[in-house]
Amino acid sequence: MKKSTKIALILVIIGVLVSSISYFGGARTYFNYNFGMRHNMYNSNNYYSGPTEKKDYNYSNLQSIQIDGSVAEVKLIGRNVNTWEVYTVSPMDKNNKISVSESNGNLTVNLKNYSHKLNNRVNNESKITIIGPASGLKNLNIDLGIGAIEIDNITLPKLDFKSSMADIEIKNSNISKSHIKFSMSDMDIKNTKLANMVLDSSMGNVVGENITFSGKNSIHSSMGNVDLKINDPENLLSIVKGSTSQAENQLTVNSSMSSISISKQNQGSVFDYEDEDYDYDNRYDNYDEYNDYYEDYGDDLENKIEHHIENIYNRKYEHYYDNFENDFEYL
């Protein structure tokens, strides 16, 4: 094969990857760098103090919260207060304001219609911070695409949450019943009590420490990692794989092409499992969609491509992307 042909082939591969990863990988990279949890923009009381538009809403009593979004940062923070305060930041585009409404104690927040603006570098941040009593809320329902979610110091009877390409943090909370489903996401749980939890993760990572489980709980992981440190001083929790037994307090683990590690803080490791025929050192080789790309060119090309994509999103995306398209069309 001629040298020029090899170069053209590599450029074609990079072109295909940029076009396919620009949404899945690039969108998340863009979010992490440009939305990400910018704590420096919040003062000591977690009130937003950034440079973009801010609106706040106050409600005396909330029973449930429904949040729908495409690209957003969402914080739900419990404090020793009586009134619920909702702070929002949205794009300056008048057609894409965050919608906040309340009726009979039910708060609805609509953060949708932002994903198509990912490649527009101007005014496309959407943030919502909800600060209220640590307890009293009956239901929290979140349907989030690309985003970041933080739940801190909240007692919840029920949590329903699903997302894709998200960073999820739950800490210092008590959740009686939850159904959590996500893909291509990272979840971090700390100092939290969970009961009757159903967690379904695809191509994601779940880590946690000082977690207390009670009731019937289950975790299903596909092409991912689970690493949990559980607080169970009286050894009341039964941890099983794929079992139908019904212990009073049980954590059932089901996995496919995943690595599971669960330890009790008073006992050390109690559950370690790795699915057979899964290469944990080079995880991408297990995804069919990556096999053709990485089989011949290896990790070095992968790293270069990821670095190239990060540069595109961290600097002038449109300029780099237009030049790349022109070069690609020239070939």
CA distance 4 to 331: 11
What H or E segment, with its residue span, contains residue 31? Answer: helix 3-34
pLDDT digits (tens, 9 = 90+) for 103-134: 999 999 887 654 444 444 433 457 888 999 99
CA torsion sign for 288, 293, 296, 300 is negative
pLDDT digits (tens, 9 = 90+) for 134-159: 999 999 999 987 788 999 999 999 99
Least confident of 98-112, 219-233, 238-252, 315-329: 315-329
CA distances, 169 to each of 149, 207, 208, 223, 254 (Å): 6, 10, 10, 20, 22
CA distance 114 to 147: 11
pLDDT digits (tens, 9 = 90+) for 37-68: 344 444 445 544 544 456 778 898 899 999 98
CA distances, 67 to each of 9, 112, 142 (Å): 45, 10, 5
CA distance 208 to 261: 11
Under 8 Å between Cβ of 58 and 102: no
Q: How confident is the model at residue 234 (pLDDT cuts 50, 70, 90)?
A: confident
pTM: 0.68
